[in-house]
């Protein structure tokens, strides 16, 4: 929508209940910051929403959740796209950019036990218990510490997955879910226990919302600047630079944990901080795990991204490349087998 001095803007996202809640969070923030402007919403179903039967591991990259939305953005049908940043590809289409990254919710994963069962931790679960998750990152890491548990794919939106968990005849004893989504949906009371590093490193950018815009849309960029939470931005861009360098897609077992300590607090802007990032890559069976940490003073987004790239290089030289190569071969083989079976 290229006309100058616009007074109305349209935010678009996926049609799931969680995506709508997240879009409304961004809309409300914009309305509070710019009361003279009008902000509408539009929701659409993406390819990732339509295909609920195949395992995420075999479906390909993150563009499944963003491609249709980006078409609407490029055709000037909408002005901003609201995403869970962890679902956004690390390389965006030409002409698109991340305009804002909002303050992050708690990025950890959580254990959610079937209603009526007494278990409080993963350690409590009896051997052979079925734990539902669609994330190979979670499965790969948790297999290291909990080889006696059985991990089973579970797809659908959060309400659907929780219904599958609580079904009396359902196979699942528990699910592993992102805490941020449960909290935003008002279901934080379903969290049995948080799973934190070093047991489980969360996904890149987990818990953060992002706004994608057209790179040449100066008006919208100015609005987005008001939304950005700099500490979250620096952390998430470091994590995304790590993942981009590792060439990890939606279903590659790359985990992270990032902290930031601001040094110069003399201004309202974040200009100088110590950034610490831990990254790990784990083989699908959990038998090989490569993990490392880098920490340094950074003074810009570019410095944060450089730290992420440097950590990726270190991980690759310490064995992550061999793990990722094996995963790529395994995915190709299983995708081919799935097509043959159709």
Which are the catalytic amino acids? 87
Token match 């709508």: residue?
20
The 10 Å CB-count burial string (b at 16+, else e) for 65-79 is: bbebbbebbeeeebb
Radius of gyration for the alpha carbons in the chain, expressed in angstroms and rounded: 20
The pair of structure tokens assigned to 2 is 């290229």
The total of other beta-carbon atoms located within 10 Å of residue 213's CB is 24
Q: Is the peptide bond before 224 cis (omega within 30 degrees of 0)?
A: no
Task: Quote the strand ranges of the chain, DSSP E.
Answer: 8-14, 38-44, 80-84, 96-101, 109-113, 130-132, 150-152, 174-178, 193-195, 209-214, 254-262, 273-282, 289-298
Distance CA 138, CA 286 (A): 10
Contact (CB, 8 A) for 142 and 200: yes
The total of other beta-carbon atoms located within 10 Å of residue 161's CB is 19
Q: From 228, 218, 177, 187, select the one nearest 26 (Cα to Cα).
A: 228
Contact (CB, 8 A) for 138 and 56: no
């Amino acid at each position: 929508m290229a006309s100058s001095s616009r007074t109305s803007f349209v935010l678009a996202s996926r049609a799931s209940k969680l995506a709508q809640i997240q879009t409304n969070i961004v809309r409300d923030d914009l309305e509070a910051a710019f009361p003279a402007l009008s902000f509408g919403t539009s929701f659409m179903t993406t390819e990732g929403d339509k295909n609920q039967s195949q395992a995420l591991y075999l479906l390909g990259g993150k563009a499944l959740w963003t491609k249709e939305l980006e078409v609407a953005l490029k055709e000037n049908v909408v002005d901003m796209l609201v995403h869970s940043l962890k679902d956004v590809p690390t390389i965006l289409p030409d002409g698109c950019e991340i305009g804002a990254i909002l303050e992050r919710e708690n990025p950890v994963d959580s254990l959610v036990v079937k209603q009526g069962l007494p278990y409080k931790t993963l350690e409590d679960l009896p051997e052979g218990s079925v734990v539902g998750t669609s994330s190979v990152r979670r499965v790969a890491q948790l297999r290291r510490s909990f080889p006696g548990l059985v991990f089973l794919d579970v797809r659908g939106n959060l309400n659907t997955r929780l219904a599958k968990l609580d079904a009396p005849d359902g196979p699942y004893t528990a699910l592993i879910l992102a805490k941020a989504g449960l909290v935003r949906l008002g279901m934080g009371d379903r969290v049995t226990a948080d799973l934190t590093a070093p047991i489980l490193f969360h996904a890149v950018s987990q818990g953060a919302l992002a706004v994608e815009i057209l790179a040449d849309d100066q008006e919208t960029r100015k609005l987005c600047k008001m939304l950005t939470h700099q500490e979250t931005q620096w952390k998430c861009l470091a994590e995304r630079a790590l993942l981009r360098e590792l060439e990890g897609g939606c279903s590659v077992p790359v985990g992270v944990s990032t902290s930031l300590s601001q040094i110069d607090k003399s201004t309202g802007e974040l200009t100088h901080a110590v950034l610490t990032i831990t990254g790990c890559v784990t083989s699908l069976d959990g038998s090989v795990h490569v993990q490392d940490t880098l920490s340094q003073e950074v003074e810009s987004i570019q410095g944060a991204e450089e730290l992420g790239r440097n950590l990726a290089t270190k991980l690759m030289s310490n064995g992550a490349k061999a793990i990722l190569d094996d995963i790529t071969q395994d995915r190709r083989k299983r995708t081919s087998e799935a097509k043959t079976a159709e």
